[in-house]
Amino acid sequence: MATYVLVHGGGHGGWCYRQVARILRAAGHEVHAPTMTGLGERSHLMGARIDLDLHIQDIGAVLHYEDLREVILVGHSYGGMVVTGVADRMAERVGRLVYLDAATPRDGQSLRDIAGPIIESARPFGEVVDGVELVLLPAPGAGAFYGVTDPDVVAWMDERLTAHPWKCFEQPLKLGNEDALWAIPQYHVVCTSTLTTRDPRLIAEARAAGRLWDIDTGHDLMLTEPRAVADALLEIAAS
């Protein structure tokens, strides 16, 4: 039995993994899909102290308090920043690191550094609430921004997407245990359309090692292609 911790991206929550988690559990695996502070069902906790470091602490606390080891740690989109930070701080608990169409940061990089044009394009449409700059404000049909085309899924997302603190996207990731971090086997499950935007060396190495899956779908691939994503995660557990 494998243990998965599925980390969501910006504006989302653990809810976005519902179908993937159901498939993995049906195959006999343990699955955790936590929601980070200020988002999803924890959106009532929004506040000025929410940043990348706090979200790393959120997920690290799940590994600690659930006493999870040899975890397959999966991060989607912004979640790639978070899982990299968690693996750096808790390498002894992480067995595999999976980037699900995610940011793949290095020391000192922020999501703004990695995905600047996309992130910056969202900023003018944000707002400041109680002193917190928020972006990715939910609006009818916002699922289309994440590459979701099924109107039923978009409507379902409309009821669940939440705003995200800008501070999370501009805070640099600080790594302190890189030897242990980069010794963890890394896997990449990406959208075909984003392959050309990624580090060619990283993609080539992943492909040569049999650690690359590309799925021809939108950015929220866990919602648009849950079976394909789950199958990739099952293959990673078996590798």
pLDDT band of residue 119 (cuts 50, 70, 90) is confident
Q: Where are the alpha helices (DSSP H) in 47-199?
A: 52-65, 79-89, 111-114, 116-122, 151-158, 167-170, 178-183
Catalytic residue selected from 77, 110, 121, 193: 77
pLDDT at 230: 98
* CA–CA distance, 8 with 81 (Å, rounded to integer): 11
SS3 (DSSP) at 207: helix
**What are the beta bridge partners of residue 32?**
5
- 138-164: pLDDT as tens digits: 999 999 999 999 999 999 999 999 999
Integer Cα distance of 36 and 75 in angstroms: 12
Closest CA to 103 of 169, 156, 35: 169
DSSP classification of residue 185 = -
Beta bridge partners of 128: 133
User: 165-180, pLDDT tens digit by residue?
Assistant: 999 999 999 999 999 9
- C-alpha–C-alpha distance, residues 75 and 104, integer Å: 10
Fold entry, domain 3-238: Rossmann fold (3.40.50)
**pLDDT per residue over 181-206, tens digit each?**
999 999 999 999 999 889 999 999 99
What is the per-residue pLDDT for 235? 98
Instruction: Quote the distance between the C-alpha of residue 127 and its chain's center.
Output: 23
pLDDT band at 52 (very low <50, low <70, confident <90, very high): very high
Q: Quote the tokens at residue 4.
A: 């998965």
Query: Is residue 121 annotated as a catalytic residue, yes or no?
Result: no
Q: For the full predicted model, state whether its pTM sits above 0.85.
A: yes
Tell me the domain boundaries of the chain. Answer: 3-238
Q: What is the model's pLDDT at position 197?
A: 87
Residue 55: its pLDDT value, please? 98
Residue-level pLDDT at 116: 84
Angle between helices 226-238 and 18-26 (to 10 degrees): 40
